[in-house]
A and B are shown apart, each in its own frame.
Chain A
Amino acid sequence: MPPSTCYNCKAARAVIIRPKNRHKLCRECFIQIFELEVHETITSANLFFRGERIAIGASGGKDSTVLAAVLKTLNERYDYGLDLSLLSIDEGIRGYRDDSLETVKRNAVQYEMPLEIVGYGELYGWTMDQVVEQVGKKGNCTYCGVFRRQALDRGAARLGINHVVTGHNADDVAETVMMNLLRGDLPRLSRGTSIVTESGASDIKRSKPLKYAYEKEIVLYAHHRQLDYFSTECIYSPEAFRGSARTLIKDLEKIRPSSILDIVKSGEDMAALVPSQVRGAGKSCKSSAPADDEAAGGCGSQNGRTSGGEMAAMENQLAANDTAESRETEIRIPRKGLEAKKIKTQTLQYCEQCGYISSQRICKACTLLDGLNRNRPKAAIEISLEDEEGSSTLARQMERTQLTNS
Chain B
Amino acid sequence: MTDPTSGSVAPIPITVEFTGGLEILFSNERKHKITVPGRLDDGSQPNISYLLRYLVDNLMKDQRKELFIMEDNVRPGILVLINDADWELEGEEAYELQPGDNIVFVSTLHGG
- Which residues of A approach B to under 8 Å, CB–CB? 1, 3-4, 13-17, 24, 27, 59, 61-65, 167, 169, 171, 215-216, 218-220, 223-224, 229, 231-234, 241, 246-247, 250-251, 253-254, 297-302, 305
Q: Scoring B residues 83 to 110 as 1 if CB is less than 8 Å from chain A, else 0, what string do you get? A: 0111011110001000000001011111
Q: B65: shortest Cβ distance to chain A, in Å?
A: 14
Give Cα distance in the complex from A64 to B109, angstroms.
Answer: 14
A220 lies within 8 A of B89 (CB): no
Most buried by A among B86, B108, B110: B108
A15 lies within 8 A of B85 (CB): yes
Most buried by B among A169, A216, A219: A219
Give Cα distance in the complex from A65 to B84, angstroms.
Answer: 20
A232 lies within 8 A of B24 (CB): yes
Q: What residues of chain A lie closer than 8 Å to B11, measured between beta carbons?
A: none
Give Cα distance in the complex from A305 to B111, angstroms.
Answer: 9
Given contacts A15-B86, A24-B89, contact A253 B76 (CB under 8 A): yes
**What are 15 pairs between A and B in contact, CB < 8 Å?**
A1-B89, A16-B85, A59-B111, A59-B112, A62-B20, A62-B108, A64-B112, A218-B108, A231-B107, A231-B111, A232-B21, A233-B110, A254-B76, A297-B111, A300-B110
Q: B3: shortest Cβ distance to chain A, in Å?
A: 25
A241 lies within 8 A of B111 (CB): yes
Interface residues on B, range: 20 to 34
Q: What residues of chain B lie closer than 8 Å to A59, measured between beta carbons?
A: 111-112
| Number of residue pairs A-B, CB distance < 8 angstroms | 91
- Which residues of B approach A to under 8 Å, CB–CB? 19-21, 24, 76-77, 79, 81, 84-86, 88-91, 95, 104, 106-112
A13 lies within 8 A of B85 (CB): yes
Q: What residues of chain A lie closer than 8 Å to B20, measured between beta carbons?
A: 62, 219, 231
A250 lies within 8 A of B77 (CB): yes
Name the residue of chain B whose CB is nearest to the CB of A167.
B112
Give Cα distance in the complex from A24 to B89, angstroms.
Answer: 8
Q: Which of A223, A233, A247 contacts B111 (CB 8 A)?
A: A233
B108 lies within 8 A of A216 (CB): yes
B79 lies within 8 A of A241 (CB): no
Query: Top 6 A-B pairs ranked by shortest CB distance?
Result: A63-B112, A300-B111, A61-B112, A250-B76, A231-B21, A15-B85
